[in-house]
Amino acid sequence: MYSQAEENYLKCIYALEMEHGEEVSTNLIASKIKTKASSVTDMLKKLSTKDLVAYKKYQGVKLTERGRETALRVVRKHRLWECFLVQKLDFKWDEVHEIAEQLEHIESDLLIDKLDAFLRFPKTDPHGDPIPDKHGRMIISETVKVLDMKIGSSGILTGVRDSSGPFLKYLNKKNLALGDKIKVIDIEPYDQSVHIETRTHRLVISNNVAENLYLRNVK
Partner DNA sequence: AACATTTTTTAGACTAACCTAAATATTCTT
Partner DNA sequence: AAGAATATTTAGGTTAGTCTAAAAAATGTT
42: closest CA among 5, 93, 11? 5
128 is an interface residue for DNA by CB under 7 A: no
Q: Closest distance between its own copies and the C-beta of residue 129, in Å?
A: 21
Binding pattern for the stretch 59-78 against DNA, x by CB under 7 A and - elsewhere: xx------------------
Q: Which residue number, 33 or 54, has a Cβ lying nearer to Mn ion? A: 33
Residues 58-97 that bind its own copies (CB under 8 A): 85, 88-91, 95
- Give the x-and-dash track for 118-157 against its own copies (CB under 8 A): x---------------------------------------
How far apart CA 139 and CA 123 sit, in angstroms, is: 7
Which string of b and e fits 25-47 if b means at least 16 CB within 10 Å? Answer: bbebbbebbebeeeebbebbebb
Decide which of DNA, Mn ion, its own copies, none touches 114; Cβ closer than 5 to 8 Å per partner kind.
its own copies
Q: Considering the complex, state which of residue 9 and residue 214 has its C-beta at the smaller distance from DNA.
A: 9
**Which residues, numbered 80-119, are part of the site for Mn ion (CB under 5 A)?**
82, 97, 100
125 sits near Mn ion (criterion: CB under 5 A): yes
Closer by beta carbon to its own copies, 23 or else 95: 95
The sign of the torsion formed by the CA atoms of 76, 82, 85, 88 equals: negative
Does the protein bind its own copies through residue 103 (CB under 8 A)? Answer: yes
User: Are 156 and 218 within 8 A, CB to CB?
Assistant: yes
Instruction: Tell me how far apart the alpha carbons of residues 30 and 190 are, in angstroms, rounded to a whole number.
Output: 35
Q: Are 163 and 214 within 8 A, CB to CB?
A: no
**Torsion 25-28-34-35 (CA) sign:** positive
Closest to 115 measured CA to CA, from 75, 79, 68: 79
CB of 87 to its own copies, least distance (A): 11
CA 151 from chain center: how many Å?
Answer: 27
Among 111, 139, 177, 204, binds its own copies (CB under 8 A): 111
The C-alpha atoms of residue 145 and residue 219 are separated, in whole angstroms, by 16
- 46 part of the interface to Mn ion, by CB under 5 A: no
Could you list the residues that contact Mn ion (CB under 5 A)? 82, 97, 100, 125, 127, 129
